[in-house]
């Protein structure tokens, strides 16, 4: 089992989550992070993203099961301050910790040489972005408890680029560490207790030399921050041949890194696909993925991240509606994906 935050001695993590962490440990299951797509604005039925942060919003049980709510840094940058205030203050009222997913590699727009870069290739941002994101969260009276780096190893080291678009830099890991350091230091300057983790696609494990690169990256972060990566969250691409085997290989490597105190926790991202045509199809895809990874493959994550960056689900509430995103929290928390035939 890879539920090992306590065993790695990361006391600061328990402090960041307070009573919520203790409650999750008593449940004996994976912690739930919730990361809906905030660009899906509230529509005529008022079941969209912002309604989650109303005091009487009908997701009381699902919210109680949610340990961390994750925002995208681009959303934090663009949302009006009064709306961000509402989000942060409601999460505090619910005792839900805050995570921000953000680029970390310090290359800005139009970089010389023309590879990578903020807004052009995922994984890149600048200390100035970190400063503004931090300022807005602080202005809302909040704290960033967790920083989830957006696939820096994949996009910085392995990614060659898409045809006709900005190429990937394929930088040495040592260079990525140097690029990430000023951005991470900016977040830590504003939030000294922030826990820094990493998101990576599981198909990274299909690339030659991936284990050495991952070890160099994790060890370099530990040396730079004086603490291990708080987590590695795996994005599992269903369309890539060999992704299931790669996921197992990656998870096994992370488990080994946990024993070496290079990584604090393993998380699995549960989502649908961009091809899903509606809420029902997207949620069914996410439920199948839960079963495939935890039942068929036998993986036992420390963290389950219920996340969307797609156009669905655009229906958040109420939690009792099987086509609402918050219903997936209760589905996972209740372990229903372990019941044969209940992942449709």
The pLDDT tens digits for 244-287 are 899 999 999 999 999 999 999 999 999 999 999 999 999 999 99
Nearest to 125 by CA among 168, 172, 179, 86: 179
318 preceded by a cis bond (ω within 30 of 0): yes
Nearest to 274 by CA among 287, 285, 260, 263: 285
Give the start-to-end residue ranges of the domains of the chain: 11-68+84-96+179-336
Contact 151, 104 (CB under 8 A): no
DSSP class of residue 111?
Answer: P
Q: What is the pTM of this model?
A: 0.90
Cβ contacts of 270 within 8 Å, gap of 6 or more:
286, 289, 290, 304, 305, 306, 307, 328, 332
Contact 113, 171 (CB under 8 A): no
DSSP class of residue 156?
Answer: I
Condensed to tens digits (0 to 9), the pLDDT of residues 8-54 reads 333 333 333 333 333 343 345 799 999 999 976 555 444 689 999 99
Which tokens sit at 315?
């229906």
Mean pLDDT, range 54-65, rounded to an integer: 96
Using CA atoms, how far residue 102 sits from 90, 152, 172, 188, in Å, is: 22, 10, 21, 14
Q: What share of the chain is helix, strand, coil (3-state, %, to 5)?
A: 45, 15, 40
């Amino acid at each position: 089992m890879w539920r090992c935050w306590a065993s790695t001695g990361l006391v600061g993590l328990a402090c960041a989550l307070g009573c919520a962490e203790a409650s999750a440990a008593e449940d004996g299951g994976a912690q739930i992070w919730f990361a809906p797509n905030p660009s899906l604005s509230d529509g005529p039925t008022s079941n969209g993203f912002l309604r989650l942060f109303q005091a009487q919003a009908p997701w009381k049980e699902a919210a109680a099961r949610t340990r961390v709510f994750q925002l995208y840094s681009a959303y934090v940058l663009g949302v009006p301050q009064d709306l961000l205030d509402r989000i942060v203050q409601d999460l505090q009222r619910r005792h839900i910790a805050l995570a921000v997913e953000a680029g970390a590699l310090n290359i800005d727009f139009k970089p010389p040489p023309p590879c990578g870069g903020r807004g052009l290739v995922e994984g890149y941002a600048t200390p100035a972005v970190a400063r503004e994101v931090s300022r807005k969260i602080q202005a809302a009276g909040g704290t960033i408890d967790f920083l989830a780096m957006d696939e820096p190893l994949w996009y910085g080291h392995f990614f060659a680029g898409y045809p006709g678009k900005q190429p990937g830099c394929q930088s040495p890991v040592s260079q990525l560490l140097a690029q990430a350091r000023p951005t991470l230091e900016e977040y830590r300057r504003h939030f000294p207790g922030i826990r820094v983790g990493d998101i990576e696609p599981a198909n990274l494990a299909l690339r030659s030399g991936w284990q050495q690169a991952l070890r160099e990256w994790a060890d370099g972060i530990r040396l730079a921050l004086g603490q291990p990566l708080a987590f590695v969250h795996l994005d599992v691409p269903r369309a890539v041949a060999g992704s299931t085997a790669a996921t197992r290989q990656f998870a096994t490597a992370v488990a080994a890194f946990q024993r070496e105190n290079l990584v604090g926790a393993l998380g699995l991202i549960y989502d649908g696909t961009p091809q899903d045509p509606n809420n029902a199809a997207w949620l069914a895809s996410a439920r199948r993925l839960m079963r495939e990874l935890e039942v068929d493959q036998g993986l036992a994550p420390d963290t389950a991240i219920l996340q969307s960056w797609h156009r669905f689900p655009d229906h958040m509430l109420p939690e009792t509606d099987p086509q609402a995103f918050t219903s997936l929290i209760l589905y996972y928390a209740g372990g229903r994906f372990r019941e044969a035939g209940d992942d449709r």
